[in-house]
Chains A and B, each alone.
Chain A
Amino acid sequence: MKEYKTITSVKGPLIFLERAKNVGYGEYVKITLSDGSSKRGQVLETSENKVVVQIFEGTRNIDKNTYVKFYGDVLKFSVSYDMLGRVFSGSGNPLDGGPKVIPEARLDINGLPINPYKRAPPHEFIQTGVSAIDGMNSLIRGQKLPIFSGSGLPHNELALQIARQATVLDCTESFAVIFVAMGITEEEAKYFISDFEKTGALEKGIVFLNLASDPSIERIIVPRIALTTAEFFAFNYGMHVLVIMTDMTNYCEALREIGSAREEVPGRRGYPGYMYTDLASIYERAGRIDGKSGSVTQVPILTMPGDDITHPIPDLSGYITEGQIIVSRDLQRKGIYPPIDVLPSLSRLMGKGIGKDRTREDHKSVSDQLYAAYAEGKDLRGIVSIVGKESLSKSDKLFLDFADDFEKKFIAQKSNENRRIQTTLDIGWEILSKLPEEKLLRISDELIGKYIRRFKDAPNKAY
């Protein structure tokens, strides 16, 4: 351990020191202020005449006379099985008045990359009970599937519904939910926690809270602490851990703040050029490991600034994650919950978890056909708004009606409605059965024979 009192400047979340010898890159730093309070930090750059440190709790009250302690090690976090059921702050201190956690292990919060050769391909379907997800964009254990939303849209409600309802068919293994708040309001946080308490989810859950009023730089470490915890439960205790992180947009803002304090050359729209790599170091911590029974599944939530999916935050996320669930303002306006727009949504791992022996043999065909038909119906809406419905052919009119049916019957459901996957697929067949059979190009004759006829004979009996 080394201690220096050589701060030359304090700028935003950063402090700069001179004549600090033998300081390692990434080293863990602690500062004790005159009032006895302490702050933690990490070395961003080190050289013989300059050391740059980011301070997670913010630099308020630091001055040139402050002592800075260097620990000769990277930032580690103490984890323990007893963390289940507890609420922690963004830097991992208990917030629930409970006792301090007695550590079982101290782990580097940055984790280590999983050797790609030892990853196990995710393939277990998680039933969320939400048709737009299960039927069209299935979530798979070990996947990273973010929710792209906009401010004021019901993404929190959706995330909670997923957390409440998520189950793996025919499986009794233990699971846990880790909830990570980054810069959300106290009200939002209360909403989450009270729901967790009400439904009993907290017993099997851990909450890390960094609120809007907390230091923004803490947002850099909170997802890392949470994922370190998740990996510990997944790979030491063989548990299936679902990590919900909200709001990644606030995380990225914190990243930008550090970048500008360092006077870095900014990348697109002022975000650091290394944001892709940085986000990857979070998202790639989802997955399964060959030979280990647990898994880490991530559902990060981010609000797209200006509802713009090409904004660097959703854009870089989409390039790393294994799909995205898009929450749409249009559907919200129509009063549809959950307002998930399935067309731009995607689950890249879906194919691995569905089908015969997993969900049902017809799953892929139904989903492909629903996509194609809904896309066609939506295109026709555009035409109708200009030339009117009369000019459409009979079959076009059916597609137009289909799009409405799809939104009202398939997508829409109650926030406490937990649909079985069979029900989801049956609703799909029911609405498809109103289209001309020869237009159902994505479905084999055999499946049409087996399923569609049922609904022609007995409409509305599916569920």
Chain B
Amino acid sequence: MELTYGVINLENKGIIYRVSGPVIAATNIDAKMNELVRVGNEGLFGEVIEIDHDKTIIQVYEDTSLLKPGDEVTTTGMPLSIDLGPGLLGSIYDGVQRPLPKLFEQMGEYIKRGAEAPGIDRKKKWEFFPLKKKGNKINFGEIVGYVNENEHTKHFIMSPPNIQGEIIDIVGQGEYTVEDILCKLDNGAVIKMYQRWPVKVPRPFKDKMIPNAPLVTGKRIIDVFFPLAKGGTAAIPGPFGSGKTVTQQQLAKWSDTKVVVYIGCGERGNEMIDVLTEFPKLVDPVTGGPLMDRTVLIANTSNMPVAAREASIYTGITIAEYYRDMGYDVALMADSTSRWAEAMREISSRLEEMPGEEGYPAYLSSRLSSFYERAGIVVTLGGKIGSVTVIGAVSPPGGDFSEPVVQNTLRITKTFWALDSNLSQKRHFPSINWLDSYSLYYDSLKEWFESKISIDWDRTRAEAMRILQKEAELQEIVQLVGADALPPDQQFLLDVARMLREIFLQQDSYHEVDEFQSLKRQFSLLNAIIRFSRLGNNAIENGVEIDKLLKLESRTEISKVRYRKDFESKIGLINETMSKEFKALLGEQ
């Protein structure tokens, strides 16, 4: 594939034959599949999505009002590509990488069509630090130097994945724009601070590895029960209002990752401005800098053009791969992949394609899997290790998980956080159902937790899960006969399960202490509850009445400790109190 810096095209013109919403058909044009074209007097961007005899079908990334048969269509000779270089971090883009602040400067508060704005600033100067010398051999994707994109991020400048050769000339340290040539190679190729990449083509790497470390999120139910691996994939399906967006934004805030790409795909405008106003004020848990400095936002809200919604997912994942190629851990959130699938459906139905299940095109499944396949932990072309973790929200109609987008997503993703509206209606947050969710990464991460956090990690977790599962069974009996009819040990188990749900699984995303908990704290909290359970069971065996257990000071204390800044010392005290209280109880017997 040819990679160019400017638009060097052999123009080819045709005319519009038909317009139907975001889809147009053109005739008399010689265009390639997936080629970018300009449509009408305003030169609206579009992409060739089908070639059918003499008709070329194009999806247009902007509003098509008043386009008419006979208007001109021009090819560009290039597929839809985006700019990759310094200046991406902290940006907010539309689905085809036009910076929204630039669109505002050009056309005011509303998004009008026909604007052109490069993804990264062509004039801004960056201080370049070379890491190679004249005579060095450069491989595909090898690092030649870096710029400090912000205080905390070295942005490595790499040769594009299809360029290699011997350096015959390289500039010295100094200030350059992204258009300046930094490096000349013996074969005539040049390296600049930025490269362009076609979004639908995955960026190449040397080798894919097996994920072996967790993405630490600070969320108890995720980290302990259903952990996601760095380089892994997760699906978070749920009906409206169940917490997909809040969960994704929380992960964007707290995950221990270098870069976050957040795609608002066909969702609400207010949710994007939320991120934009909040993130600059928040502190990046990894570097201590402003959170916005590690974030790239892609906003294609539900009222923006449908075809650009389709593109936004590709734009986002391409940016994620680019930072991965520098050797960084990147997390990508896509909210919501259902809107992406619906965009495909809408376009496909305008083409009068044979619909598959629920009207979705037959290629739904392959598009979804090729998207999630772009996640992974890899050895980059430049020999570094980097990862892209992908978390996709799914919005099933009627909250029904048997529909095609959820089902096709679950076939590919390895972590499943099932949101449950029964929980969210009770304001149990995060409303991730602990019985339905799963993580296929846990087994390969177990050792990591045992060696880094506690040797008892797995045992304690398993005990907690057993109690929660047993609770679900007992609930059915309680529904029939009432809790009083159960033997004391089972009544006690119900109480412990309740503690697990209310104290451990629930986590307040709006409380400054509770919203993020370190793995060590998560474990001590869980351990204290499980310890209470063990001591309690022993007490019951020895004839202690259950009412006495429920009134213990240590039990009450555990319930509020997660809100405390002095968590460590407090939990120590609670454990001591617990020992004393149980000793006293047994002494009374």
Query: CB within 8 Å of B: which residues of A?
Result: 21-27, 44-48, 72-74, 110-122, 142, 264-268, 273-274, 276-277, 280-281, 284-285, 287, 289-292, 310-312, 315-316, 318-320, 322-324, 343-344, 346, 348-349, 351, 364, 368, 371-372, 375-376, 382-383, 386-388, 391-393, 396, 438, 441, 444-445
Measured between C-beta atoms, what is the minimum distance from B69 to chain A in Å? 5
Q: How far is the CA of A24 from the CA of B24 in the complex (A)?
A: 12
**Which B residues between 116 and 133 are near A, CB-CB below 8 angstroms?**
none
- What per-residue 1/0 map shows which CB atoms of B335-365 lie under 8 Å from chain A? 0000100100110010000010011000000
Residues of B within 8 A of A444 (CB): 563
B397 located at the interface, meaning its Cβ lies under 8 Å from any Cβ of chain A in the complex: yes
Residues of B within 8 A of A372 (CB): 426-427
Q: Find A277's partner among B66, B302, B400, B484 (CB 8 Å cutoff).
A: B302
Sampled A-B contacts (20; CB under 8 Å): A24-B19, A25-B68, A26-B64, A116-B273, A117-B100, A117-B104, A121-B274, A267-B345, A276-B342, A277-B266, A280-B266, A284-B268, A311-B398, A364-B510, A375-B427, A383-B478, A387-B480, A392-B482, A392-B484, A393-B483
Is B359 within 8 A of A266, CB to CB?
A: yes
Measured between C-beta atoms, what is the minimum distance from B236 to chain A in Å? 15
Which of the 9-residue segments B106-114, B149-157, B206-214, B227-235 touches chain A?
B106-114
Is A115 within 8 A of B268, CB to CB?
A: no
Q: Find B303's partner among A26, A268, A280 (CB 8 Å cutoff).
A: A280
B451 located at the interface, meaning its Cβ lies under 8 Å from any Cβ of chain A in the complex: no
Is A47 within 8 A of B69, CB to CB?
A: yes
Count of CB-CB pairs between chains A and B under 8 Å: 215
B543 located at the interface, meaning its Cβ lies under 8 Å from any Cβ of chain A in the complex: no
B292 located at the interface, meaning its Cβ lies under 8 Å from any Cβ of chain A in the complex: no
Is B303 within 8 A of A120, CB to CB?
A: no
Is B268 within 8 A of A322, CB to CB?
A: yes
List 7 other contacts, CB 8 Å, given A266-B359, A274-B306. A46-B20, A72-B66, A116-B269, A287-B269, A315-B239, A383-B479, A386-B479
Residues of B within 8 A of A292 (CB): 109
Query: CB within 8 Å of A: which residues of B?
Result: 17-21, 25, 64-70, 92, 100-101, 103-104, 108-112, 239-241, 264, 266, 268-270, 272-274, 276-277, 299, 301-304, 306, 339, 342, 345-346, 349, 355, 358-359, 395, 397-400, 421, 425-427, 478-485, 502, 510, 556, 559-560, 563
Q: A268's closest neighbor in chain B, by CB? A: B397
Q: B245's closest neighbor in chain A, by CB? A: A348
Q: A375's closest neighbor in chain B, by CB? A: B426
Residues of A within 8 A of B64 (CB): 25-26
Residues of B within 8 A of A375 (CB): 425-427
Pick the most buried of B101, B303, B304, B349: most chain A CB atoms within 10 A of its CB: B303
Is A324 within 8 A of B67, CB to CB?
A: no
Is B92 within 8 A of A117, CB to CB?
A: yes
Is B349 within 8 A of A264, CB to CB?
A: yes
Is A114 within 8 A of B111, CB to CB?
A: yes
Residues of A within 8 A of B483 (CB): 391, 393, 396
Q: How far is the CA of A395 from the CA of B491 in the complex (A)?
A: 15
Also in contact, A315 and B397, with CB within 8 A (given A114-B109, A344-B425, A371-B427): yes
Is B301 within 8 A of A284, CB to CB?
A: yes
Q: How far is the CA of A319 from the CA of B69 in the complex (A)?
A: 36
Pick the most buried of B111, B241, B342, B563: most chain A CB atoms within 10 A of its CB: B241
Measured between C-beta atoms, what is the minimum distance from B244 to chain A in Å? 10
Is A115 within 8 A of B111, CB to CB?
A: yes
Q: How far is the CA of A21 from the CA of B485 in the complex (A)?
A: 81
Q: A51's closest neighbor in chain B, by CB? A: B69
Measured between C-beta atoms, what is the minimum distance from B570 to chain A in Å? 14
Is A320 within 8 A of B268, CB to CB?
A: yes
Q: How far is the CA of A74 from the CA of B113 in the complex (A)?
A: 15
Measured between C-beta atoms, what is the minimum distance from B433 to chain A in Å? 16
Q: How far is the CA of A266 from the CA of B104 in the complex (A)?
A: 37
Also in contact, A387 and B397, with CB within 8 A (given A113-B303, A273-B359, A441-B502): no
Measured between C-beta atoms, what is the minimum distance from B63 to chain A in Å? 8
Q: Find A116's partner among B92, B421, B426, B480 (CB 8 Å cutoff).
A: B92
Is A391 within 8 A of B484, CB to CB?
A: yes
Measured between C-beta atoms, what is the minimum distance from B253 to chain A in Å? 15
Q: Find B65's partner among A24, A264, A312, A391 (CB 8 Å cutoff).
A: A24
Measured between C-beta atoms, what is the minimum distance from A265 to chain B in Å? 5
Residues of A within 8 A of B21 (CB): 25, 45, 274
Residues of B within 8 A of A266 (CB): 359
Q: How far is the CA of A289 from the CA of B110 in the complex (A)?
A: 10
